[in-house]
Amino acid sequence: MTNQNVVASETMALAVTTVANPSPIFPYPQLNDCSSGFAVRTKCLPQLDHESKDGRVNAWLESLKASSPTHAKAAAKPAATHPEAGPFWTTTHPSALDMFGEITGASVGKQIVMFLDYDGTLSPIVDDPNRAFMSVEMRDTVRDVAKYFPTAIVSGRCRHKVYSFVRLAELCYAGSHGMDIKIPAKGHILMKANAKAVLCQPASKYLPMIDKVYRALLETTKSIPGAKVENNKFCLSVHFRCVNKKRWSTLADQVRSVVEAYPKLKVSIGRKVLEIRPSIKWDKGKALEFLLESLGFTNCKDVFPVYIGDDRTDEDAFKVLRSRGHGSAILVSKMPKETDASYSLQEPSEVMDFLQRLVEWKRRSVEACPKV
């Protein structure tokens, strides 16, 4: 196995260099009208660093409230029927189940490579991140997918943690938002001949810093009931799903007070979680490119990547697929969102339906091919 703290090719190696001007500690999106109960993601405001501490946290807090709809709102108004969605959402981001024929039709003659987020995609979002278990049926479905397509799990979780949930050794795993990638020695039968077993960890030098910040956050946030700090090895997650909304600003200020002492780290907002990561040019999009390269599909015209995810961090992978001009990006969401994905699914149960249909479609295609 190749142990790579930098990336294989010269082009990809450039991707792990530290950002000269790291993003603000609390990047946040501009708010559109949020009266409908949802907000869309837009570019971070560059002037954030010049605001006062209170202004910065308050602005972040308002963004956080807008980007974290409750389960009740999400369940009551799914994307397909949300009154604010209208025909625009369903036209620009149709259901991947409804458009299944279009997706498979575009992949004819090409090798599908599957990329799957974990939380909110293969497993439901739960209050306790340590209990985000996937169902037995979902595991069986992913196992079947991997029989026909090279498959990778791309998660913000620690790679070892997400593997303990999935427990399928034949898959590739990219943990810590793609900063910890392992490709098994016994690769997929459909991998290219030039594929190789790889361990890629471009943020290794940040491990001592991450561990120090983790211990500081544990101590600083222990006064907030419901707050959970998760060590994902190359990044940290501060979960506030179980924190009273009245304490969100206090928690935000506590996280800021710790992270601002480390300019080489940045904070982003996910689904009821704050993600602390090294400020390097590496994300799930870079992980997707690296995985395709390592699997032997660099610059191949006969590859068709399919990426399914629900988080803001998955947008980096969606952007890569859009720029490549081929493949399918599928957003998992019950709420209308601005996204670079082309299709949508509402929840993990629909993801499972889509994957099962994909397996059945491939099985029939194989059976229909004459044996030589």
Q: Which two tokens stand for residue 49?
A: 């660093």
What secondary structure letter does DSSP report for 252?
Answer: H
CA distance 171 to 174: 10
> What SS3 class is residue 178?
helix
175 contacts 157 by C-beta, under 8 angstroms: yes
Paired with 267 in beta bridges are 276
Q: How far apart are CA 222 and CA 327, in angstroms?
A: 44
302 classed as catalytic: no
Q: Give the largest Cα separation in the chain, rounded.
A: 71
Bridge partners of 274, per DSSP, are 238, 269
Tokens 């009931």 map to which residue?
225
* Residue 50 burial by Cβ neighbours in a 10 Å radius (0-12, 13-18, 19+): exposed
74-86 in b/e form (b: 16+ CB < 10 A) is beebebbebeebe
Catalytic residue among 49, 117, 180, 283: 117
Report whether 321 contacts 308 (CB < 8 A).
no
Take residue 274 and report the two structure tokens written for it: 């704050």
Q: At what angle do helices 136-148 and 348-368 cross, to 10 degrees?
A: 40
Helix ranges restricted to H, the chain:
10-13, 53-66, 71-76, 86-92, 100-107, 136-148, 159-166, 207-220, 248-259, 284-294, 315-324, 348-368
- DSSP 8-state symbol, 266: E
Q: What is the three-class DSSP state of 14?
A: helix
Q: How far apart are CA 76 and CA 134, in angstroms?
A: 23
Is beta strand 228-231 parallel, antiparallel or unpaired with respect to 236-239?
Answer: antiparallel
Catalytic residues: 117
